[in-house]
Structure formats: C-alpha cells, structure tokens
Homo-oligomer: A and B are copies of this chain.
C-alpha cells in the first residue's frame, strides 16, 4: 500500500474509533465516519467494503498489537511465573496507552454477542491468547518452575479473566483504584499459587 493510502486508512480508523466511543457502533453511520475523517465515501469504500469490515479491522489491529506486546518478552524455557508477572506490567502499559479508546473494547463484546461475523473475528485471537498462556504454563511445568498439579488450560483462563475484568473496570470506573497495582498484585497472587513448592 502507498504511504498516502496507508495514512488515509489509519485516519479513517482513528476517526471511527473516536466516533464509536462517543456515539456507539450502531448509531455511527459510514456518512458520519466520512465527515469526521474528512474523506469522501469513495475513499472510505476503497479501504473498507462496509462499516462492519472497518470494525473488524480495528479489532484485528488492536488484538494483534496486544498479542505482540504481551508475548514478545515471554521466555518459555526460563522462569515462567516471572514471565507472566512481566506481562502484567505490559498489560498496565496497554491499559494506559489505550485508556481513551477502551469503551470500544466493550462495543466489541456487545457486537460479538449479537453478530456472528464479529464473534468469529474476535474469538479466534481471544482463544489464541488462552492457548498461548496455557502453552506457557505447560512449558513452565516441564522446566520445573510451575507446579505440576496446575491445570494449564484452567490457569490460563483465570489469568485472562483477571485481565479482562481489570480492563473493563478500568474503563467504567478508572478513578476507583490504582488499576496498575491491582493488575500487578492480582497476577502475583495467581503466579504465587502456581509456583512449584520447593
């Protein structure tokens, strides 16, 4: 893609994210997005065949970005509890970086529960997180840093649930807690209980 074309695509995405956060996905029309982005409908449809495809592109960009940031530092052969703890720091970073755009995270959830195409697009990366965490925990059991009684799939779901719950509350009630600290303490509680008792 040409740089100018890329810039236009990114600009449409940014405008749409802002609009979806303010007005909601359902209420925002392609025309509204074009006005906000200052682009013609022709330019819009050159990049995205529909509002839904734009929505899915935002979702995909976001999940891929989190994925890359989270797992880039994981070292399966090393101290897995410490790796998972490091990921908690990254989650805090993701959270701060995305803070203004987080209402759209809930839009994804709502649309996914209602629209099969969104569900399908959201569920694959989500299940990939679960699998990657489960794989990391299983490798920790092999290398001896994680207790062998832990069920990697269940433990992975516990970790992701905690992260999802924190993200959601940080959106709805950002002022009520130091969410970075809740993340770090919560992950620490879970990794402590997974550690091999020596």
Contact = CB atoms under 8 A, between A and B. Distances in A.
Given A161-B162, A185-B151, A185-B158, A172 B127 contact: no
A87 B145 CA distance: 30
A36 to B, nearest CB: 17
Contact of A172 (B22, B26, B119, B185): B119
A39 interface: no
A21 to B, nearest CB: 8
A98 interface: no
Given A151-B185, A165-B164, A185-B151, A172 B114 contact: no
18 contacts: A26-B27, A106-B110, A123-B172, A127-B173, A151-B185, A157-B169, A157-B182, A157-B186, A158-B162, A161-B165, A161-B186, A162-B162, A162-B186, A163-B165, A164-B168, A165-B168, A168-B168, A192-B193
Contact of A122 (B26, B172, B185): B172
Contact of A189 (B130, B185, B194): B194
Contacts of A106: 106, 109-110, 113
Tell me which of A22, A157, A166 has the highest count of chain B C-beta atoms within 10 A of its own C-beta. Answer: A157
Nearest to A107: B110
B165 A160 contact: yes
A1 interface: no
A164 B169 contact: yes
A157 B172 CA distance: 14
A190 interface: yes
A24 B113 CA distance: 11
A126 B173 contact: yes
A182 B161 contact: yes
